[in-house]
Amino acid sequence: MSRLFVARNPRVAARSLGGEVMIMSGRDSTLFTLNRTATILWQAADGCTPLDKIVQERICAEFDVEPAVALQDAETLARELAGHEILQISEEPIPQRNAPAGESR
Amino acid sequence: MSGLLEEMTAKAQRLNVPLNVQLDLTYRCNERCVHCYLDHDDHGEMTTAEIKRLLDEMADAGVFILTLSGGEIFVRKDFFEILEHARRLTFCVRLKTNAILIREREAARIRDLGVESVQISIYSHRPEVHDAITLVPGSLKRSLDAIRFLKSQGLRVIIANVLMVQNMQDYAGVRALATELGVDCTLDPTITPMMDGNRSTLSLGVDHNSLRQVFRDPSLVGDVDEFCAIPAKADDGTLESLPCSAGHTACYVSPYGDVYPCVQFPLPTGNVRRQRFVDIWRHSEKMNEVRSIRMSDLTTCTQCTHFSSCTRCPGLAFMEGNMRGPSSQDCEKSFARTGVLSANMLSKRRAGANLVQIQALPGLAATA
């Protein structure tokens, strides 16, 4: 199975408010809030860390879940977020030019 | 406001987070609009480095929606450098501009940088009216060209039409133009006094009959009977509610670094050149005074028929001398909408009736 890479879409706006990340879609200004899993995915989506590694190191470390199940769920979530143009997904690493900050703010 | 944004705004208020900030990058401008409230001379604008540092502080403070305005933002040579920095910090960036410096290249760059929307001032669909307000020949054509460039990039554009004596007959034409261009359109009859307190620009505001006409135009207000109905009596919830978002989830920063509760509320609360933005937001005595005001604290307005539905602006009230008092422009609007005088207007009429004309005594007149 090929590896999946995820990156934050540079066209979205994002801010953490009281621990909850809100994202405004660059496509149509729709506002989203991310749940805990989606927030972890958003913060770790640097374009060069493969999804399976994010799941193993970040999601499985926080939730009591089977790695295979977690990876499947994370892939579904990543594709959903990509559908809203919040994340970019690719089977190759995604170069990040002027990447939005994911961690600190 | 969408349900989720409303929810996040309520959360920001609970957490004392300035979710929404307008930052004016300059007061310099390449137009000279007759109703403008600004002094266009540069009295020491923040440098590129100062603005970038401020943006860093704002992001850390939780600011999400950042409106970049002026003056005319594109007269700053470093505008795109500032915009790039703001987008790297993942602000939701909105621009306010006259757009006459936006060509294809600028429109493409704005699109690439993920700007949420661009608001452009258009006063009339007729060049002779628009250009007579901006005092720049050819400005309407250049602004409309820019709208087309921005639209061709897929950007969201909003036409902002300020209504005044000069363009009162043209708002329907502007709306038709907006429809033709595929952009949104807002209409605002509020003229703001000059920032130095000079109120001469207010003479450009539309009169009572014109306001009445606007408020009875179903294409603008929808159900006229509902819009113009006398409001129900205020309940306890209204009394404990906030006058507006100024100082609660929103504030304004001038090109000189002064922080105010709102662009229309010229109460200086601190300066980001001397203090951190978040410290001004959280600890300024004046900001906290504005923040402490509830609707029940409004001196005249609590007695007013329009209390529960009035658009009263605390900043305009402040400019009249009392941030807890009425804003006469909003009293005029409520009166034009419903035909019922506001408590403030009634009080002024009573005061006028109590005045007695004093005639000079013949002997005094001779010696004066």
DSSP β-bridge partners for residue A32: A23
Contact B61, B281 (CB under 8 A): yes
- Cα B91 to Cα B56: distance, rounded to the nearest angstrom: 10
Establish if A13 touches chain B: CB-CB under 8 angstroms: yes
What's the pLDDT band for A82 if we cut at 50, 70, 90? very high
**A45-70: per-residue pLDDT in tens?**
999 999 999 999 999 998 999 999 99
Token readout for B42 is 């540069």
The CATH code of the domain that includes A68 is 3.90.930.60
DSSP string, B125-157: SSHHHHHHHHT-TTHHHHHHHHHHHHHHTT--E
Nearest CB neighbour to A105, from listed B2, B90, B93: B90
A32 touches chain B (CB under 8 A): yes
- d(CA B139, CA B181) in angstroms, rounded, equals 17
Specify if A101 maps to a domain.
Answer: no
- pLDDT number for residue B249: 97
Q: Are strands A87-90 and A5-8 parallel, antiparallel or unpaired?
A: antiparallel
B53: number of Cβ within 10 Å? 17
Report d(CA B67, CA B47) in Å as an integer. Answer: 18
Mean pLDDT of A73-80: 94
Domain count, chain A: 1
Residue A63 lies in a domain: yes
The span from the first CA to the last CA of chain A, in angstroms, equals: 34
B235 residue type, one letter: D
Look at residue A75 in the predicted model and tell me its pLDDT: 95
Q: Tell whether B21 lies on the interface with A, counting CB pairs under 8 A.
A: no
**φ, ψ at B19 (rounded to 5°):** -65, -30
Axis-axis angle for helices B79-88, B48-61 (nearest 10): 20
CA angle A73, A79, A84 (to 5 degrees): 130
Secondary structure letter of residue B246 according to DSSP: B
- Token pair of B207, please? 């009169």
Residue B197's pLDDT is: 80
The answer as to whether A20 is a domain residue is yes
Q: How confident is the model at residue A100 (pLDDT cuts 50, 70, 90)?
A: low
* Residue A83 structural domain: 5-88
pLDDT score at B8: 94
- Residue-by-residue pLDDT tens, chain B, 368 positions: 678 999 999 999 999 999 999 999 999 999 999 999 999 999 999 999 999 999 999 999 999 999 999 999 999 999 999 999 999 999 999 999 999 999 999 999 999 999 999 999 999 999 999 999 999 999 999 999 999 999 999 999 999 999 999 999 999 999 999 999 999 999 999 998 887 888 889 899 999 999 999 999 999 999 999 999 998 888 888 888 888 999 999 999 999 999 999 999 999 999 999 999 999 999 999 999 999 999 999 989 999 999 988 999 999 999 999 999 999 999 999 999 999 999 999 999 888 776 665 555 554 444 43
SS3 assignment, position B24: strand
Establish how many alpha carbons lie within 13 A of residue A22's alpha carbon, considering only the half-sphere containing its beta carbon. 22
Confidence at residue B361, expressed as pLDDT on a 0 to 100 scale: 52
Residues in chain B with CB shorter than 8 Å from the CB of A98 are 84, 87-88
Asked whether the predicted pLDDT for residue A98 surpasses 50, the reply is yes
Closest partner CB to A17 (pick from B17, B92, B156): B17
Confidence of residue A105 (pLDDT cuts 50, 70, 90): low
Work out the minimum CA distance from B325 to partner chain A, whole angstroms. Answer: 33
- The yes/no answer to whether this complex scores an ipTM above 0.95 is no
Cα separation of B183 and B179, whole Å?
6
How many whole angstroms separate alpha carbon B101 and alpha carbon B87? 21
B156 at the A interface (CB within 8 A)?
yes
Sequence-separated (6 or more) residues with CB below 8 Å from residue B319: B193, B197, B266
CA-CA-CA-CA torsion sign (B363, B365, B367, B368): positive
A6-22: pLDDT as tens digits = 999 999 999 999 989 99
Indicate whether A23 belongs to any domain.
yes
**DSSP string covering A22-64, please?**
EEE-TTT--EEEE-HHHHHHHHH-EEEEEHHHHIIIIIHHHS-
Strands B117-121 and B92-97: parallel
User: Which helix H or strand E contains B221, and what residues bound it?
Assistant: helix B218-221
Find, among B193, B196, B174, B195, the residue nearest to B185 by Cα: B174
Which residue in B221, B283, B281 sits closest to B246, CA to CA? B281
A66 within some domain: yes
Residues of chain A positioned with their CB less than 8 A from the CB of B5? 31
The answer to whether residue A105 is domain-embedded is: no
Measured CA to CA, the distance from residue B131 to residue A95 in angstroms comes to 47
Distance CA B245, CA B19 (A): 10
Prediction pTM value: 0.91
Q: Does A103 touch chain B (CB under 8 A)?
A: no
In the stretch 55-74 of chain B, residues with CB closer than 8 A to chain A read 59-60, 62-65
Give the amino acid at B1: M
In terms of CA atoms, which chain A residue is nearest residue B4? A31
Question: Residue B206 has what pLDDT?
Answer: 93
- Contact with chain B for residue A17, Cβ under 8 A: yes
Query: Looking at residue B306, what is its pLDDT?
Result: 93
Determine the average pLDDT of the residues in A10-37: 92
CB B31 within 8 A of CB B134: yes
Classify residue B5 by burial, with Cβ atoms within 10 Å: 0-12, 13-18, 19+.
middle
- In this structure, what token pair is assigned to residue B78? 């470093």
Q: Hey, is the C-beta of A100 within 8 angstroms of any chain B C-beta?
A: yes
Residue with tokens 């999804």: A51
In a domain, A94, yes or no: no
Helix axes A36-44, A67-83, angle to 10 degrees: 80
Give A-chain residues touching B8 at CB under 8 angstroms.
Answer: 17, 22, 31, 33
Q: From the list A14, A17, A33, which residue is nearest B90 (CB)?
A: A14
Is B89–A11 a contact, with Cβ atoms under 8 angstroms apart? no
Is the residue at A76 inside a domain? yes
